[in-house]
Amino acid sequence: VASLGTAGRLRLRSLAASPALPVVALDHLPDRSNPVPSFDQAAWREEFPLLARAIPMNNCSQGPQSRRARAAAVAFLDSWNERGMDWDAWLETVQLARATFARVIGATAADIAIFASVSDAASAAMSALRFADGRTTIVATAGEFPTIGHVALAQAPRGAQVRWVPVRDGAIDATAWGAALRDDVRVACATHAWYQTGALQDIPSIARQAHDAGALLLVDAYQSAGVIPIDVRAWGVDFLVAGTQKYLLGTPGIAFLYVRPGLAEDLAPVVTGWFGRANPFAFDAQRLDWGAGAARFDTGTPPVLAASVAAAAMTPVLEVGIPAVREWTIHLSRRLVEGAEARGLAVVGPRDPAARTPTTAIAVDGDSAAIERAMRAGGVIASARGPVIRLAPHFFTTLADCDRALDVLAAAVAP
Ligand SMILES: Cc1ncc(COP(=O)(O)O)c(C=O)c1O
């Protein structure tokens, strides 16, 4: 028997009278008009208590708290309170956070160093590079999150200058990379996605161009990790930085640096500390040796509480599957673009959801922070950035949430 399920998907069910017939659920028909997630969204929504009270559309800024992330934070506090300290278990959790992030980007735990912020991670990576021998230029895009630009500019006393790849029509100008990547470039900084509009860059292509020019590539994946499938090895990325606060559904206070295996061993970061040593517990202040793999980039005592939360917080996207997250959020992006235009709202950046993260940026006049506050009063948590309001859904977001967010935004900007 074929019937149209309530959510619009075609199901073939066995007849009650014919129990021998197989049950076939075709969950995945490419129905553009009424799509449904390929995972049990209703069950996953129970994992995020905030969803009962609000519509979080700020996932490009701060993802909501999962029950498991909260439980991990409480477990650390209990361990501290009940045992006084438990460094063996705490450092195991830090390792688990490393390994879990590695799965998000197609790496292994040995390729990952831990910091408190992306700024720290990028500073450590830059500190390991020499700006000499005719290679004194850092290329960065005008769409980098400011911190990457600042870290690049701060290398001036070490002999570096910055060449910029411009932004055009709400996206980073892909055609400008060729001219920027000359034979004087030591490293190119490419944000995977522009934080303002979610516009994606073609990282494998930029990696090829950078390497052809003899340069290294540093990718900032803070706006894409967890919602866009990433394969650092296949893509040829040299360094990648990201934290857990946004689509990875964790807290501030922890960030990761991927260093390509083989490259790490050639580098000696100037930003360092005792956890970067071959054996941190040798306690030898007079000897600077280096840890294996990316661990040589570790600095001081790791952020144990944030790592405990991160190890749990990142698991929902891995369990749903990042390709499935991507597929569903493309449907949501399409709904947001079409719905915005139907309400007379102007989308900034690429219209095509495949060219963006789940972020849809909508131009607003005047004080975008005031509009964000007005939307919160309407139960929608949006994210203001300069001249735009960003609506950034996630795998737990429904089509109805998108419609409601647009209604609340349209009311907030109405004259
Ligand atoms: C793309 C991107 N990179 C970096 C950052 C900032 O990272 P941190 O504060 O951890 O240095 C953000 C924060 O919004 C971001 O969106």
* pLDDT score of 85 more than 70: yes
Neighbours of 187 (CB within 10 A): 23
CA of 252 to the centre of ligand 1 (A): 10
Q: Which tokens sit at 75?
A: 């477990």
pLDDT digits (tens, 9 = 90+) for 343-378: 999 999 999 999 999 999 999 998 999 999 999 999
Confidence of residue 167 (pLDDT cuts 50, 70, 90): very high
Ligand 1 near 117 CB (within 6 A):
yes
* pLDDT score of 129 more than 70: yes
Residue 161: its pLDDT value, please? Answer: 98
Ligand 1 near 222 CB (within 6 A):
yes
Confidence of residue 32 (pLDDT cuts 50, 70, 90): low
Closest residue by Cα to residue 145 from 114, 117, 179, 175: 117
Q: How far apart are CA 255 and CA 113, in angstroms?
A: 9
Query: What is the rounded average pLDDT for all residues in the chain?
Result: 92
Residue 217: its pLDDT value, please? Answer: 98
Q: How far apart are CA 380 and CA 200, in angstroms?
A: 25
- Provide the residue type at 77 as one letter: L
How much is the CA Rg of the chain, to the nearest whole Å?
Answer: 23
pTM of structure: 0.92
CA of 147 to the centre of ligand 1 (A): 7
Residue 170: its pLDDT value, please? Answer: 84
% of the chain with per-residue pLDDT over 90: 90
Q: How far apart are CA 403 and CA 134, in angstroms?
A: 54
C-alpha distance from residue 267 to each of 30, 149, 290, 301 (Å)? 48, 22, 10, 21
Mean per-residue pLDDT, 373-395: 96
Closest residue by Cα to residue 299 from 310, 307, 311, 291: 291
Higher pLDDT pick, 13 / 168? 168
Asked if 129 and 188 touch (Cβ cutoff 8 Å), the reply is no
CA of 116 to the centre of ligand 1 (A): 11
Task: Tell the residue number behind the tokens 């030591």, with chain if given.
Answer: 186
Ligand 1 near 145 CB (within 6 A):
yes
CA of 11 to the centre of ligand 1 (A): 43
Q: How far apart are CA 50 and CA 39, in angstroms?
A: 20
pLDDT digits (tens, 9 = 90+) for 251-298: 999 999 999 999 999 999 999 999 999 999 999 999 999 999 999 999
* pLDDT score of 48 more than 60: yes
Residue 139: its pLDDT value, please? Answer: 98
Residue from 62, 115, 144, 145 to probe ligand 1 pocket by mutation (most atoms less than 8 Å from CB): 145
Residue 17: its pLDDT value, please? Answer: 33
